[in-house]
């Protein structure tokens, strides 16, 4: 997130322009209602972008594993249900 701020002094250039800045922040939501902001220098922007790309790739891989686990769970549930029905039919 990039921000520009105004200092509030009526004679400062920020009163009539975009403001002081830019100031770059990495904003992370830790849990509902709890965020952390890290002020980044210009030199750290590429590093932070690389870290964010790593996070996005990690999250995508985690989603794929989660989807595979859900599929396996559905298959095993269907298999157990089928076995129970077969066992009931044999005993009846």
Q: How far is CA 57 from CA 28, 63, 64, in A?
A: 17, 10, 11
Q: What is the pTM of this model?
A: 0.66
The full 3-state SS of the chain, as one line of letters, equals CEEEECCCCCCCHHHCCCCEEEEEEEEEEEECCEEEEEEECHHHHHHHHHHHHHHHHHHHHHHHHHHHHHHHHHHHHHHHHHHHHHHHHHHC
- Chain segment 15-61, per-residue pLDDT in tens: 999 999 999 999 999 999 999 999 999 999 999 999 999 999 999 99
Higher-confidence residue: 89 or 14? 14
- Is residue 65's pLDDT more than 90? yes
What is the structure's pLDDT at 84?
80
Please, what's the b/e burial string for 47-75 (b: 16 or more CB within 10 A of its CB; e: otherwise)?
Answer: eeeeeeeeeeeeeeeeeeeeeeeeeeeee
What is the structure's pLDDT at 69?
97
What is the structure's pLDDT at 33?
92
What is the structure's pLDDT at 88?
78
């Amino acid at each position: 997130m990039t921000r520009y701020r105004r200092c509030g002094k009526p004679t400062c250039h920020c009163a009539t322009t975009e403001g002081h800045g830019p100031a770059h922040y990495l904003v992370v939501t830790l849990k509902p209602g709890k965020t952390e902001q890290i002020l980044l220098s210009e030199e750290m922007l590429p590093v932070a972008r690389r870290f964010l790309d790593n996070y996005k790739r990690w999250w995508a891989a985690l989603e794929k594993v989660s989807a595979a686990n859900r599929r396996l769970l559905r298959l095993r549930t269907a298999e157990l249900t089928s076995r129970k029905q077969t066992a009931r039919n044999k005993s009846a």
